[in-house]
Amino acid sequence: MASDVTQVTTTDVEPDEAPRLRADAARNRAKLVATARDVFTTEGGEASLELIAKTAGVGIGTLYRHFPTRLDLLEAVYRDEVDVLRETAEKVVPNHTPFDALELWLVAFVDYAATKRHIFTELVEAVGRESELMTHSRAVIYDTAEQLVTAAQAAGQIRSDVTSPDVLRLVGGCTMMPNFDREQTARILTIVMDGLKLS
């Protein structure tokens, strides 16, 4: 009988506990990626993993369980930033004018570019410019920008003599100043959009 009780108890507990543990792990992973992005942006690409773990409120062992190497964390941050760009486009296009959709997406692109400047060199040195990570990310960014710019041009809302690479270079350049200033960059983005807009 004792073995039967033990078996029932184990069966009752395990299905409830396993999902909770998986959810906790997923939250920790997401927290680490978000924190790493913020720390790299404010402290630079040389920021330590120990600082990231401390800022995220987890132990360094938790960080290493999710990201065994620094490169694993850098790749996760970069993929997450590109995913945000893709998801932003999916959200704004159905609910805004083409001009506003482009502007909202470019706000997200500024955040991506600000993070990229601190981790891109280290990533490229590790995986190469033609790695799957880099080629996929470029495709997502350039294809999305092309769709948004083309839609705004077709709607007669922005000038027709610019290309999506022009827009990306204009906006991306705003983040390349030595001391990234989010408020200043927002003002510059407004100037860029005013220059693109057709009256």
Tell me the HSE value of 50 on the side-chain side, using a 13 A CA sphere: 0
Dihedral (CA of 4, 5, 10, 12) sign: positive
CB under 8 Å to 144, separation ≥6 — which residues?
85, 86, 89, 105
**How many Å apart are CA 115 and CA 36, to the nearest integer?**
10
- Largest interatomic CA distance in the chain: 83
**How many Å apart are CA 164 and CA 190, to the nearest integer?**
17
Domain count across the chain:
2
DSSP 111-124: HHHHHHHHHHHHHH
CATH of the domain at 180: 1.10.357.10
Instruction: Say whether both 96 and 182 belong to one domain.
Output: yes
Name the strand (E) or helix (H) holding 199: none
Instruction: Say whether both 78 and 34 belong to one domain.
Output: no
CATH of the domain at 51: 1.10.10.60
Instruction: Say whether both 89 and 1 belong to one domain.
Output: no
pLDDT, greater one: 134 or 24: 134
Instruction: Say whether both 157 and 84 belong to one domain.
Output: yes
Picking from 119, 133, 105, 140, the residue whose alpha carbon sits closest to that of residue 38 is 119
The residue from 68, 94, 113 where one domain ends is 68
Instruction: Say whether both 113 and 18 belong to one domain.
Output: no
The residue from 36, 68, 100 where one domain ends is 68
**What pLDDT is recorded for position 72?**
94
**Around Cβ 194, how many Cβ atoms within 10 Å?**
8
Instruction: Say whether both 29 and 105 belong to one domain.
Output: no
Instruction: Say whether both 14 and 84 belong to one domain.
Output: no
Residue range(s) defining the domain that contains residue 37: 1-68
Picking from 196, 187, 138, the residue whose alpha carbon sits closest to that of residue 167 is 196
Percentage of the chain lying above the pLDDT 70 cut: 87
Instruction: Say whether both 132 and 168 belong to one domain.
Output: yes
pLDDT in tens, 81-132: 999 999 999 999 999 999 999 999 999 999 888 888 888 888 888 888 889 9
Instruction: Say whether both 90 and 177 belong to one domain.
Output: yes
Instruction: Say whether both 122 and 155 belong to one domain.
Output: yes
pLDDT, greater one: 174 or 123: 123
Please report where in the chains the tokens 């981790």 appear, as a residue. 119
Instruction: Say whether both 63 and 75 belong to one domain.
Output: no
Residue 158's φ and ψ, nearest 5 degrees, are -135, 160
pLDDT in tens, 9-51: 334 434 444 455 577 888 999 999 999 999 988 888 789 999 9
Instruction: Say whether both 170 and 189 belong to one domain.
Output: yes
The residue from 13, 47, 68 where one domain ends is 68
- Say what the pTM is: 0.79
**What pLDDT is recorded for position 117?**
82
